[in-house]
A and B are shown apart, each in its own frame.
Chain A
Amino acid sequence: MRIPLGNPLQLLLLVCSFALAGYAGVRLLAGDWFGVALWFVGAAVVHDVVLLPLYAAADRALVKTAGRHVMYVRVPAALSLLLLLVWFPLISGQVADRYASATGLSPDGFPARWLLVTAVLFGGSAVVFVVRRRRDTKERPPAVH
């Protein structure tokens, strides 16, 4: 069976791309090649087969429980988890000692500030929910009740 080549221009572009990636890649892998390769491929694998299925499953579970009000929970929860994901080393305190000794700043505020932002996000969402619900009940004719 003959494998079709595909668009020759695309092929040329991809070969050029691989050549440059190879040139930089050899240098990227010059030190701890196994560790770097593991991080490079591992990042894609962990994202695609762990992180994404996990948050998709959590979202499905949330939709089942919260029904049509799902956005009032989904938005603050996702934003809070996003902050946790990005600033995990600081929030978890795993770099607290190095951070404090290097910068002279206190590492203690990060978990508290993250919780505070989370509280504000959920609080804001609750306020929007209550306001919209009140408005809806007012606008609806009494007969509907």
Chain B
Amino acid sequence: MVRGPVSTVARAYRRGMPRSPFAPSFWRSPLRGPWLTSVLGVVLLGGITVLFVTGLLSYAAYNPDLSPVNDKTPDKGVLGFYLFSWPTDPHWLYRLNQGVHVTLGITLIPVLLAKLWSVVPKLFTLPPARSLAHALERMSLLLLVGGALFEFVTGVLNVQLDYVFPGSFYPLHFYGAWVFFSAFVAHAVLKMPLARRNLRGLREEKTELVSPNPAPPTVSRRGALWFVGSGSLLLFVTTAGQNFDGVLRRTALLAPHGGAEPGSGPGGFQINKTAAYAGIDPGETSEEAWRLVVVGRAGRTVRLGRAELLQLPLHSSALPIACVEGWSTSDQWWRGVRLRDLAALVGYDDPPDVFVESLQRHGAFRRAALRANQVADPRSLLALSVNGEDLTPDHGHPARIIVPAAPGVLNTKWVARLTFGDL
């Protein structure tokens, strides 16, 4: 803000050191200019579009329109216009989608910061508005900048399990994305012609971004772009590995699911929530105590112990665990009873939807719904073992759901009850 009377600013200006950011010569970096801003803008235009699309796909992957238990945003209204039955093919679909969403988001952070730095003098332009359209455009910039930072910050905190944001992640990140994207589209349309001129013409236009009183350069503009790029590259190489096993996972030095696997042996792969964290009482999962309740047509109910489940036809499928937080495992070798065989057991030869309930005490997805196409897929199992051994407690012993291409939390662990029927 301008603190003193105009004369103070004017004096400071004459000394060559204006105190007010409203004075154009306050901003002295020789790097700022339409070319740099346009390059960064074009990178963000592509990157954020991919983030938005993969985000919408991830939202659809939860099948929120199937059942209230899957839907963390019941008042979405028309924002769910595009929802569709999430497919089961290819089986790595969610793994790829979410790996791209989170890894790309983290990689774009330096580009976003550089872009905001490159345009900061515009925040202090005077007069505040030349016309009604200009006033609205500047108001829209608050939604653009606030929205971008809100989305990146909530995403980055959520993948680190730092739930300090004011509410549940799903509605905040989803509705926040729409607020941000509405401003983003307007900004892209308004600025695209300018950015194209700047990049094609390769000549510097005299805009308010160019400092009238530049400091001596300490780095070239190309060097500055390399600088931003190296930040992105560093974040990329220390994050992307959390989507692969073995040596590659160890390259993800700072990502939440990088580094070493939790334990060794057949169950030594990444865990979203451990049995202890989910509040699983070992007494409830013992051979004697645990019974799977399967409910079907006209209330037909079957209760099965683990030994009885093992007597049913067992099948194998190689499927990954892929989390909304942007980490995943490679394909694990699951073995268990097909969901569609369990549906047939309670009178559904043509597999319907299923409502899955877990023993877990807390967790937003302790109850989840799967759609008929997911139940019908021959690779969808109620898994009893993984990689040749019984499931470990942390991977869902005595039994867990595993469905191709579904988000990790829909692969319910410690399953207690399956209710087949149209939802």
Residues of A within 8 A of B (CB): 3-8, 10-11, 13-18, 20-21, 23-25, 27-28, 30-32, 35-36, 38-41, 43-44, 47-48, 52, 56, 63, 68, 70-71, 74-75, 78-79, 82-83, 85-87, 89-91, 94-95, 98-99, 101-106, 109-110, 113-114, 116-117
Contact = CB atoms under 8 A, between A and B. Distances in A.
B133 A14 contact: yes
B132, B227, B235 interface centre (most CB from chain A within 10 Å): B132
Q: Interface centre among B133, B157, B172, by most A CB within 10 Å?
A: B133
B167 interface: yes
Contacts of A18: 136, 139-140, 182
Contacts of A114: 254
Interface of B: 73, 75-79, 106, 109-110, 116-117, 120, 123, 130-134, 136-137, 139-140, 142-143, 145-147, 149-150, 153-154, 156-157, 160-162, 165-168, 171-172, 175-176, 178-179, 182-183, 185-186, 189-190, 218-219, 223, 227, 230-231, 234-235, 238, 253-257, 259-260, 262-263, 270-274, 276-277, 394
Contacts, number: 205
Contacts of A74: 218
A91 B131 CA distance: 47
A105 B257 contact: yes
A21 B166 contact: no
Nearest to A7: B133
A75 B79 CA distance: 42
Contacts of A103: 161, 256-257, 262, 270-274
Contacts of B257: 103, 105
Interface secondary structure of B, over-half rule: helix
B299 to A, nearest CB: 37
A56 B29 CA distance: 10
A10 B190 contact: yes
Residues of A contacting B: mostly: helix
Given A24-B175, A31-B168, A83-B234, 6 more contacts: A10-B133, A20-B182, A28-B176, A28-B179, A31-B166, A40-B179
Contacts of A102: 161, 271-274, 277
A39 B276 contact: no
Nearest to A27: B175
B263 A86 contact: no
B149 A101 contact: no
Contacts of B234: 79, 82-83
B253 A113 contact: yes
Contacts of B231: 78-79, 82
Contacts of A20: 178, 182
Contacts of B75: 27, 30
